[in-house]
Amino acid sequence: MRATVLGAGVAGLCVATELVARGCEVTVFDPSPRPGPHGCSWWAGGMLAPFCEGETAEEPVVRLGQEAADWWERQGVNVERRGTVVVTLGRDRNELDRFARRVQGHERLDAAALAALEPDLSGRFDRALHVPGEAYLDPRAALEHLRDRLEHSGATFVAEPGPTTGVTFDCRGLAARDALRDLRGVKGEMAVLRSADIHLTRPVRLLHPRFPLYVVPRPGGLFMLGATQIESDDRRRSVRSVLELLSAAYALHPAFGEAELVEIGADARPAFPDNLPRLVRRGETIHVNGLFRHGFLLAPALARMAAEAACDGTRPELYHEDHD
């Protein structure tokens, strides 16, 4: 089967990977030659945290997200399976109980257990949660890896859309808003810090009623701080948001006050009104879109479902036939 994939963000690269694995001849259209800051996926945190996301996300996110760590590992991406640590500042300790009520698969930590897991947080929090079944990856390295792997296995990457044959998989994210009218942008802002004074070995979430934060360690002493969630398709990085992220990081550990500010980024995530992703079939086109803040977490499952729908004629969940 021949197939065309529009867009080489995380959704498009995962779909292309699933199609190539099924023996399809795949052409990927993307105006940019390589993964980079033009795409929403570039700014992702790379947490594979289906259980923590279940705090607010619907059930399919928790269930389908559990496929992600294995999928990425099968592609040869380095996946760190060290779980997630969740902490809160003293006066917000009720937040930890609320989070624990809503998140499955966690265990409670006292100060000593937290110190054993993350020594650099020792003495700062008298209790915490650990969600052992979660993982994380370096999203930029993962995009590069998928891109190279696809090219080696015979997929073609072209910048200009040409004539298409077979099924088209539209994975353009927000750029597909011309075709998907109820798609909207939800802005996320992030920062990258470098510090040699603090060492974390897994993602840490700081619960806060106003300024929730997650910190994801990356190679080279880097830490990704994320992420705001603002109903806007604006891509500016606002002072207020950066202040909030940095203040929250400083509250998590004062060593971040001395860190080097390496990068500040922002982009708009594509989302449908229920914040769940969709496969929308229109004739010979299947849209894979609306991954919201769950790109790296849900793209593997969505890619598998999209490929199954096209190759095997299945009607997976989150699948919508659309005739307008």
The first and second tokens of residue 109, run together, are 């930590």
The first and second tokens of residue 296, run together, are 């790296």
Binding mask 165-194 for another protein (x = CB under 8 A): -------------------xx-x-------
- Check binding of 320 to another protein (CB under 8 A): no
- Check binding of 90 to another protein (CB under 8 A): no
- Check binding of 104 to another protein (CB under 8 A): no
Q: Which is nearer to another protein, 108 or 236 (CB)?
A: 236
Strands (E), 219-314: 222-226, 260-271, 278-282, 285-289
Q: What is the largest CA-CA distance in the chain?
A: 62
Binding mask 272-311 for another protein (x = CB under 8 A): -xxxx-----------------------------------
Q: Which of 315, 324, 314 is nearest to 282 (CA)?
A: 324
Of 210, 239, 283, 323, the one binding another protein by CB under 8 A: 210
CA dihedral angle for residue 104, residue 109, residue 115, residue 116, rounded to 10 degrees:
-70
- Check binding of 140 to another protein (CB under 8 A): no
- Check binding of 230 to another protein (CB under 8 A): yes
- Check binding of 74 to another protein (CB under 8 A): no
Of 233, 251, 262, 285, the one binding another protein by CB under 8 A: 233
Residues in the chain: 324
CA atoms within 13 A on the CB side of 252: 30
Q: Are 35 and 144 in contact (CB under 8 A)?
A: yes
Of 63, 74, 236, 315, the one binding another protein by CB under 8 A: 236
- Count of chain residues binding another protein (CB under 8 A): 23
Report CA Rg, the chain.
20
- Rounded-to-integer distance, Cα 106 and Cα 99, Å: 10
- Check binding of 218 to another protein (CB under 8 A): no
Query: Residues in the site for another protein, rule: CB under 8 A?
Result: 56-58, 101-102, 184-185, 187, 209-210, 230-236, 238, 271, 273-276
